[in-house]
């Protein structure tokens, strides 16, 4: 049975930077730079231009990951796209990404399967686990896993929506999961979910249970209430469950891998809130800063893109090298969570 390792990483953020002060000056949000930093650690984020979708960002990150893996798009056997912000209700972003990578064109057209994962902040780890299983089973040799988000187009950028609007940014991260006979790769993973809290972090822009699924006026034009159109979050409840679930799933995965937290060289936590991650680091794990990497200060919460973007940054800056042991952990809407231990 082959091992499944990450052969290449990639990342892309749109060029437009929006600082905390920009939220005040350009959008008129009643907040301050200090208030946002104190509660979230976020100083700025990137916003995509009108007309740019998650698959556009994902394609840029995917091309970089393929290049770093020494592969062409036609070497892929499967695409897994994790996002909470697809271009449309359907189809998913995976097929748009497949086309943007040129897999559908020319004499070398290769119609690889494209799977979309809708597990929000833990979506990348759900995708990574699926890719690992496909490679280890022998069903695939190279699987592209992308986490891509365009949040800014669906944020209530007003004082009414400030509790959520300040948190999110746009970006995409990608990895190629490949087969190898070397003694390395994804060693263990754990996933979980608790649907009892599904409504505590949600965006119910339409409700397919209802007829019509979007209320319409006399002219048949859809009208969505603000409560359904914008994301809603019970922040205190999310914080509490995030700490509990992230710590638990990390410990469970370490036990499965036969290691302890002290054996891990680098912790890659989902970037939802710097204060959550620091609390786990300092109050629970009690480990030094040298074992943790963060980029939420510069990009905000990019949901499914946070972990692959951190992996890419760690490789590019030399913090992550072959032979190191990495722990990836995420928690998000659903509630869903996951963890993976990787021998890099």
What are the catalytic residues? 121, 270, 301
Asked if 86 and 149 touch (Cβ cutoff 8 Å), the reply is no
Question: How many other C-beta atoms can be found within 10 angstroms of the C-beta atom of residue 224?
Answer: 14
Q: Are 233 and 84 in contact (CB under 8 A)?
A: no
What DSSP character marks residue 91? S
Judge contact between 320 and 343, C-beta under 8 A: no
Torsion region of 286: left, alpha or beta (phi above 0 gives left; psi -120 to 50 gives alpha)? left
Write the CA distances from 73 to 66, 296, 327, integer angstroms. Answer: 7, 30, 28
Residue reference for tokens 């896993």: 145
Phi, psi torsion values for 38, nearest 5 degrees: -60, -40
Q: Which long-range contacts (CB under 8 A, 24 or more apart) does 26-30 make?
A: 27/157, 27/158, 27/165, 28/158, 28/159, 29/157, 29/158, 29/159, 29/162, 29/165, 29/166, 30/159, 30/162
> What are the helix (H) ranges across the chain?
20-25, 33-40, 54-69, 93-100, 123-136, 162-165, 226-229, 235-257, 274-279, 296-299, 306-316
Q: How far apart are CA 82 and CA 271, in angstroms?
A: 16
The dihedral built from the CA positions of residue 110, 184, 127 and 270, taken in this order, carries a sign that is negative
Contact between residue 4 and residue 132 where contact means Cβ atoms under 8 Å apart: yes
Q: Which residues contact 265 (CB under 8 A, 6 or more apart)?
A: 291, 324, 325, 326
How many CA within 13 A on the CB side of residue 209? 1
């Amino acid at each position: 049975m082959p091992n499944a390792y990450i052969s290449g990483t990639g990342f892309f953020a749109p060029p437009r930077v929006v600082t905390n002060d920009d939220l005040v000056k350009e959008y008129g949000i009643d907040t301050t730079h200090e208030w946002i930093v104190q509660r979230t650690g976020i100083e700025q984020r990137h916003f995509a231009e009108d007309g740019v979708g998650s698959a556009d960002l994902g394609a840029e990150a995917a091309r970089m990951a393929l290049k770093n893996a020494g592969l062409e798009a036609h070497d892929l056997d499967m695409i897994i796209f994790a996002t909470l912000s697809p271009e449309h209700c359907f189809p998913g972003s995976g097929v748009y990404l497949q086309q943007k990578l040129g897999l559908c064109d020319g004499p070398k057209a290769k119609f690889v399967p494209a799977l979309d994962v809708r597990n929000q902040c833990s979506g990348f780890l759900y995708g990574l686990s699926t890719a690992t299983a496909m490679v280890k089973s022998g069903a695939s040799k190279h699987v592209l896993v992308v986490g891509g988000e365009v949040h800014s187009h669906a944020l209530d950028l007003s004082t009414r929506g400030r509790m959520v609007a300040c948190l999110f940014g746009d970006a995409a991260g990608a990895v190629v999961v490949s087969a190898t006979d070397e003694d390395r790769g994804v060693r263990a993973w754990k996933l979980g979910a608790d649907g009892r809290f599904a409504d505590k972090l949600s965006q119910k822009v339409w409700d397919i249970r209802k007829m019509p699924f979007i209320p319409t006026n006399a002219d048949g034009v859809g009208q969505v209430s603000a409560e359904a159109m914008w994301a809603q979050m019970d922040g205190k409840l999310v914080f509490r469950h995030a700490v509990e679930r992230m710590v638990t799933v990390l410990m469970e995965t370490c036990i499965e891998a036969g290691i302890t937290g002290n054996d891990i060289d680098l912790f890659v936590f989902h970037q939802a809130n710097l204060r959550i991650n620091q609390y786990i680091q300092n109050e629970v794990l009690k480990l030094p800063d040298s074992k943790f990497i963060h980029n939420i200060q510069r990009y905000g919460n990019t949901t499914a893109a946070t972990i692959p973007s951190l992996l890419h940054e760690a490789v590019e800056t030399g913090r992550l090298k072959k032979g190191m042991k990495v722990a990836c952990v995420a928690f998000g809407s659903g509630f869903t969570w996951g963890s993976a231990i990787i021998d890099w």
